[in-house]
Structure 1
Amino acid sequence: MVKAVRVHEYGGPDKLRYEDIEIGEPGPGEAYVRHTAIGLNFADLHNREGRYPLPSLPHVLGGEAAGVVTKIGPDVTDVKVGDRVAYAAGGPNFPPGSYAEARLFDASRLVILPDEIDDITAAAMIVKGLTAQYLLKSVYPVGPGQTILLHAAAGGVGQIMSQWAAHLGARVIGVVSSEAKAEQARQNGCHHVLIGSQEDVAARVRQLTGGEGVPVVFDSVGKDTFETSLKSLRPRGTLVSFGTASGPVPLFDLFLLNKMGSLTITSAAFAWFFRSRPELLSRAADLFDVVLRGVVKVPVNRTFPLADAAEAHRAIEQRQTHGASVLIP
């Protein structure tokens, strides 16, 4: 038996249950991973609420963790007992389940960690860093001379993306919710920082780009920023939607994209960019490279005991966190 945090019914933080579960022995292709640190993501709240439904109830929450392989099942060749690893859950074949002292996981989806990256940093960055990687390198390749708009620039993904995009030569306009978060965004590579609640973001973007608008907006907020994001784009610009922190985007007449400048919208989901082990390892190697070289720093704002997962969720909902937060089993 191991301790885990599960939901038996959808709802608020009060629906989280810290309890004993049985996880069994690893089967063919599986590894038993003893967790040392567990990443917190906004998607965990969506799973808890039922906006992103879980495969079944009750179910353990959590999409990323770091730990040690303590057992392996038959036919496992990608990892061995004693390896320090991290993983990102995502998609129907790799469901949530990291809010636990240990879990069974497909060994082919485990990434062996470099010695120089500690477990807390690894747990804080594996989902967020890989998300930044596929957004900046594949969904909309960012490079020198471009100006990009990034919502939630002081969040876990936002802090990594702003540093990485600046390193790639882009000018980064970050949007945050408070002056305190604005300072964080500046420290993490944003050249201009806008406080969304205090100014007309689209108008300021036009001002900063000579009236043209930006070629790409990265938006993880959803409902509250959707219209602003579209208004911030230049003709033939692209809105990359990769989250709905404020709620789902509203129903939209597709032909309006034509009238606004032949714009493009894409919804970029994590699972579709990690469909094979070679792709996973290639993207992870790119992430590890920028972290090891100090190009991207992964600040961990807060740690919470696993038993206090409900408190952690409340802190995220009340915007008391910035950057990454981690659960410790």
Structure 2
Amino acid sequence: MDKAAISAAPRPAVRPQGYWPRLGRRLLQYRTMYVLALPGILYFLLFKLAPLWGLLLAFQNFNPYLGFFGSEWVGLAHFEALFTDRNFYMMLRNTFAINLFGLVFMFPLPIILALMLNEVRHEAFKRINQSIVYLPHFLSWVVVASMTFFLLSTDVGIVNKLVGEAGFPRISFLSEPDYFWGMITAQTMWKEAGWGTIIFLAAMAGVDPQRYEAAVVDGANRWRQIWHITLPAIRPTIIILLILRLGQMADVGFEQMLLMMNPLVMQVAEVFDTYAYTQGILRGQISTGVTVGMFKGVVGFVLVVGSNYIVKKMGQEGIY
């Protein structure tokens, strides 16, 4: 049979594969992985995506008795009320100041601590130290606030007792506005610095050991190895976590602030989280609380997108 006859012979029709059959085969092929991911998927569907409809309450005068469909629509009235509130700029200042303190002092601390732990060669000693620095993360803010009170209060605080025994006047750490932001930052550093080392230690574990061996052959000491090998290797991780941290600049730990604030430090302690709690829960203005949460979300989104754009322009890898 010549080539012309072969080319002219009818060929079986190839049926195009549809999307759904391919998806079904893929789900069946990787069914174990999807089953393992199912709890996480359900969590995000139920607790992250499903509640998004509640953002519409920011555009209503929501009344629980009338319900979602019976409440009055007011447009941007709640946003206007928030931006014209006499305490808005005070809350904005306090929120960004506390987060700026955390960004400057707290963010580098897990990196430094991870570098120190990574240099420990005795595995048993390293694991004991890791466990010790992880433990504060599992303490509730109620316990941390109680410990702070028993350490720094004027009457029963251990620190002030030592200061008084030394002949100096006692310091009002808990009621002096000048100390509040630093105290909040110190609490966060003590509680979360150890837990933050987990990601950086995992990134350091992925560095090729042959690079360190080659550096030793070239005469590099431990400082040179850290500077030229370890830090460049974890740079993408640092950048991604920094971008995500910038996205939380409008968010301050509500429980921590609620436990530590008092009338004497209200001017430096009132933040958007406590304002939303006061207005939305205590005063029953649910729409105002939702408005504050939506404002925080928009600010975080803008900061993430903007910082990611700047990072990409600098030639680094962003989060997308």
- TM-score range normalised by the length of the shorter chain: under 0.3
Q: Which has the higher strand share?
A: 1
Going by fraction, where is helix more abundant, 1 or 2? 2
Give the structure-2-normalised TM-score: 0.25
* Structure index of larger Rg: 2
